[in-house]
Homo-oligomer: A and B are copies of this chain.
Amino acid sequence: MTRQELIQQIFKKKSFLCVGLDTDLKKIPQHLLSCEDPIFEFNKAIIDATAPYCIAYKPNLAFYESNGVKGWISFEKTIKYLNEHYPEHFIIADAKRGDIGNTSAMYARTFFEEMQLDSLTVAPYMGEDSVTPFLQYAGKWVILLALTSNKGSADFQLTTDKENERLFEKVLRKSQEWGNIDNMMYVVGATQGKLFADIRKIVPHHFLLVPGVGAQGGSLEEVCRYGMTEECGLIVNSSRAIIYADSSENFATTAGAKAKEVQEQMAMLLPKQ
């Protein structure tokens, strides 16, 4: 998906919501456990109910891999379902990969060619040759970890170097030598508040993927105040607060209502066009 297509979808739907498909067998409604593939059944119902209110889906690979081979089958079925029924939605594999060049190239083939995902989250620690293999596919995106939402983000990401640059700032600056606004986004946690303003000084036009609204305590208003651009520039993810809002047989309807609530907030926060 191109940048322009993404922006069009955001303003058409008046939403920049990404629904995180962190599907956990221990948390989904119990009546689904008798299905042949409970994870896929859950995802399908959640997707059908939330699709009008969101512009992206983000399955977190860890949740699928934790079920081994069965989990991978559920993951592949989910991606296939999205590509067939909701081709206008942006699909993010939250995988946090990153390895030496030849290995990153294998991951890129898997996620971009075989699975037809739009984007992949990548960890920057190993530098340029761990990231660039993902940038060789037209219309596909690297979403590089910059400043994450968790407590441990302070351990290394905020380290200030001799030139007075913090590590997350160096990642933002340096990675612009490898990619551009058409193939690279950054993960910035919603819990980082005013630091969004510092981030916008370095990447004024890049899209940011923002997890951490909802269960992790980030504020949507604050993220928009400091991080939004004229083209929106934000994809805000919510997982648990939407998909696990209701554990009854009515779970999908409730998830849809929750997504609609967030979409309505977002409509008011979007820049006028």
Contact = CB atoms under 8 A, between A and B. Distances in A.
Contacts of A85: none
A153 to B, nearest CB: 6
Interface in A97-143: 97-101, 103-104, 106-107, 109-110, 114-115, 123-131
Contact of A123 (B98, B154, B155, B159): B98
Interface in A145-172: 145, 148-157, 159-162, 164, 167, 170-171
A76 interface: yes
A197 to B, nearest CB: 22
A220 B150 CA distance: 39
A54 B60 CA distance: 35
A107 B65 contact: yes
A69 interface: yes
A226 interface: no
A145 B125 CA distance: 8
Q: Interface size for chain A: under 10, 10 to 19, 20 to 34, or 35 or more residues? A: 35 or more
A125 B154 CA distance: 10
A241 interface: no
Given A63-B106, A76-B69, A152 B126 contact: yes
A59 to B, nearest CB: 12
Contacts of A24: 106
B128 A152 contact: yes
B72 A76 contact: no
Contact of A129 (B63, B151, B159): B151
A203 interface: no
A72 B128 CA distance: 28
Interface string A11-40: 000000000001010000000000000000
A36 to B, nearest CB: 15
A171 B156 contact: yes
Contacts of A68: 72, 76, 110, 114-115
B76 A124 contact: no
Nearest to A174: B155
Interface of A: 22, 24, 60, 62-63, 65-66, 68-69, 72-73, 76, 96-101, 103-104, 106-107, 109-110, 114-115, 123-131, 145, 148-157, 159-162, 164, 167, 170-171, 174, 216
